[in-house]
Amino acid sequence: MVSAAEQLAANLNFSALAKAEELKKRIWFTLGALLVYRFGTYIPLPGIDPVAWDQIFKTQAGGILGMFNMFSGGGIHRMAIFALNIMPYISASIIIQLMTTVSPTLEQLKKEGEQGRKVINQYTRYLTLVLATFQAYGIAIGLEGAGGAVADPGYFFRISTAITLTGGTMFLMWLGEQITARGIGNGISLIIMAGIVAELPSAIAGMLELGRQGALSTALILVVIVMSFVVTAFIVFMERAQRRLLIQYPKRQVGNRMFEGQSSHLPLKLNTSGVIPPIFASSLLLLPTTIAQFNAGSGPEWFNVLTTQLSHGRPLFLILYIAMIVFFAFFYTAIVFNPTETADNLKKHGGFIPGIRPGERTAEYIDYVLTRITVVGAAYLAIVCLIPELLISYAAVPFYFGGTSLLIVVSVTMDTVAQIQGYLLAHQYEGLIKRSKLKGRRR
C-alpha cells in the first residue's frame, strides 16, 4: 500500500494542475454543482410536520430508511425535496442493463455505438421518470399513514409531494449528467458520494457523543477508527487488483514493410460488479423490516416472525446478506461483461491468447478466468460488508461506517483521481507538442 500511495503522489503534479485552466474550470463547475445539490437537501417538503417526522424517523432509522438517508445525504431525515435522491435513476439504469440481455432491440442498440447509447440513455430517463413518480407517490401515502407527520393529508398533498419529489430526482439526474459532461468524474456517483461524505461529520460526532454518555466504550471507538482505515486500505488494494490476460497479435505486412507481432493485456478487474451487490442485498433484506415498522405489527404472525429474524445481527440476516452479495456479484458481472463479445472483438482484430484457439475456445477461457476471480471478488465484498455490519448490529455504530458507504466513497474517489491524472497527462502532452513546434519555428 505504501508503494501505491507513493506512486499516486508522484503522479499528481500540482504545478501542472495550476497551469491546467480547463481542468480547473471543470473542478470548480463540479464543486458548484455539488453545492447546489447540498443546498437542495435542506429545502423541506411542503406539508410535513418536522418534529413529528423526526420522531418517526428515529424509530425506523435502523431499516431501509437509514440506508437511503445515507445515500441521500440526510434528505430522508429532513424530508427534503431531494429525498428520493438519484436512486430511481440507478434502478432504471440497472433495469435497462438487464433488459439489454433479453431484448434483441436493446442489444442491437448497444452495439450501434454512440447513437445507440444515446437512445438507451433516453429510455433510461423515461424509466427514471416512471419509477420516481411511483416511488414519490408511495412516499406520500407512507407519510400520511406514519401518524401525525402530515399536517393536511389528502389528494392535494399526495399529488404535490409526488410532483416535488419527482422533479427533485429529475433535476439531480440532469445535474449529474452536466457534471459528467462539463465537470470532472461521474456525476451520478459524485452526487451519492457527496451525500455520504457530507453526513460523515455528524455521524462521527454522534458516535463520540455515545462514547461520552458511556453507551460506547473508548476501546470500541478506537477499534472503529482503526477498522475504517484498514478497510479503506483493503478496498483500495482490491479495487486496483486485476488479472491480466496476455493478448498476442501476429506479424503483419503493410506495403513492402513487415511489422513484428505485438503483445498487450486484457485487464479483468477482481471486482467487476462494483458496489451494486451490497446495495441490492441491503435493500432487499431491509425492505420487510421497514414494511413491518410502518404497519406497527398489524400484519400476519408469520410475517412478524420473519421480520424479527431479519433484523440486524440475527444469523438469518447475516446468512442471507452474504448469500445475496455473492449472488449479485456473479449476476451483475455476467451482465456487464460478455466473454463471447470480447472474444469476437479479439478475433476481428487478429488478437489471440497464446495456447488458446480464437473464437469459442477463447470465450470459454475468459469466462473460466472471470468466474475464478469473481469468487475472490465476491468474498472480498462479503468480508468488507460483514465486519461493519456486525459493528452496526452489536455496537450501534452509524450506517456511515458500513462497508457499502466505504466502498462508494473509495471507489468514486479513485475514479475521480484517475480522471484528474488523465487530464493532467493530456495537458502536459499538449504542452510538449507546443514547445516542440516553437523550437521548430525558431530553427
Element (H, E) at 54: helix 50-60
Q: pLDDT grade, residue 108 (50/70/90)? A: confident
Residues 6+ apart with CB under 8 A from 58: none
Task: Give residue-wise pLDDT tens across range 348-378.
Answer: 877 888 888 888 888 899 999 999 999 999 9
Q: Report the percentage of the chain scoring pLDDT > 90.
A: 12
Residue 272: strand, helix, or coil: coil
Average pLDDT over residues 225-239: 85
Q: What is the pLDDT of residue 442?
A: 59
Q: How far apart are the first and last CA of the chain?
A: 48
- Residue 342 corresponds to which cell in the numbers above? 470480447
> Is 116 buried (19+), middle (13-18) or exposed (0-12) by CB count in 10 A?
middle
- Comparing 195 with 395, the larger pLDDT belongs to 195
Q: What is the pLDDT of residue 9?
A: 45
Q: What is the pLDDT of residue 370?
A: 92
Is 191 within 8 Å of 86 (Cβ atoms)? yes
C-alpha pair distances (Å), 178 with each of 101, 134, 209, 220, 325:
28, 25, 39, 42, 32
Given a cut of 80, whether residue 250 has pLDDT beyond it is no
Q: What is the pLDDT of residue 400?
A: 54
Given a cut of 80, whether residue 217 has pLDDT beyond it is no
Q: What is the pLDDT of residue 212?
A: 82
Given a cut of 70, whether residue 139 has pLDDT beyond it is yes
C-alpha–C-alpha distance, residues 371 and 223, integer Å? 34
| Averaged confidence pLDDT in the chain | 79
Q: What is the pLDDT of residue 295?
A: 55
Given a cut of 80, whether residue 411 has pLDDT beyond it is yes
Q: What is the pLDDT of residue 169?
A: 92
Average pLDDT over residues 85-114: 81
- Comparing 167 with 423, the larger pLDDT belongs to 167
Q: pLDDT grade, residue 140 (50/70/90)? A: confident
The pTM of this model reads 0.78
- Comparing 98 with 377, the larger pLDDT belongs to 377
The β-bridge partners of 257 are 254
Q: Which of 109-123, 228-242, 394-408 has the lowest mean pLDDT?
A: 394-408
Average pLDDT over residues 177-191: 88
Q: Is 262 left (phi over 0), alpha (psi -120 to 50) or beta?
A: beta
Q: Which of 49-53, 291-295, 403-407 has the lowest mean pLDDT?
A: 291-295
Helices (H), ranges, 296-359: 301-309, 315-336, 339-348
Is 75 within 8 Å of 41 (Cβ atoms)? yes
Q: Which of 39-43, 171-175, 278-282, 332-336 has the lowest mean pLDDT?
A: 278-282
Selection from 235, 233, 261, 260 nearest residue 247 by Cα: 261
- Among positive and negative, which fits the CA dihedral 98, 102, 106, 109? positive
Q: pLDDT grade, residue 6 (50/70/90)? A: very low
Angle at the Cα of 113 from the Cα atoms of 111 and 116, rounded to 5 degrees: 80
- Residue 282 corresponds to which cell in the numbers above? 441491503
Average pLDDT over residues 94-119: 80
- Residue 111 corresponds to which cell in the numbers above? 452495439
Given a cut of 90, whether residue 310 has pLDDT beyond it is no
Highest mean pLDDT among 207-216, 223-232, 301-310: 223-232
Average pLDDT over residues 310-339: 82
With b meaning 16 or more CB within 10 Å and e meaning fewer, what string describes 407-425? bbbbbbbebbeebbeebbe
Q: Which of 1-5, 214-218, 349-353 has the lowest mean pLDDT?
A: 1-5
- Comparing 3 with 156, the larger pLDDT belongs to 156
Task: Give residue-wise pLDDT tens across range 54-91.
Answer: 887 777 665 556 667 777 777 888 888 888 888 888 88
Average pLDDT over residues 122-150: 85
Q: Which of 176-180, 259-263, 336-340 has the lowest mean pLDDT?
A: 259-263
